A = this chain, B = another copy of it.
Amino acid sequence: MLTLFWAKGTCALASHIALEQVGAEYKAERLDFSKTQQRSPEYLKINPKGRVPALITDQGILTETPAILLYVAQLFPKANLAPLNDPFALAQINAFNSYLCSTVHVAHAHKHRGRRWADDPQALEEMTRKVPQTVGDCFELIEQEMFRGPWVMGERYSICDPYLFTLAGWLESDKVDINRFPKVADHRKRMSDIPAVAKVLKVHAAG
CB distance from A201 to the nearest CB of B (A): 24
- Taking a contact as CB atoms closer than 8 A, the residue among B64, B87, B106, B122 that contacts A71 in the complex is B87
Interface residues of A in 160-175 (CB under 8 A from B): none
A106 to B141, alpha carbons, bound, how many Å?
A: 19
Whether, in the assembled complex, A155 has its beta carbon less than 8 Å from a beta carbon of chain B, the answer is: no
B141, A99: Cβ atoms closer than 8 Å = no
Interface residues of A in 116-135 (CB under 8 A from B): 116-120, 122-123, 126-127, 129-130, 134
Give the segment of A18-26, A31-39, A55-63, A184-192 that binds chain B: A55-63
CB-defined contacts of A123 to chain B, threshold 8 Å: 118, 120, 122-123, 126-127
B88, A59: Cβ atoms closer than 8 Å = yes
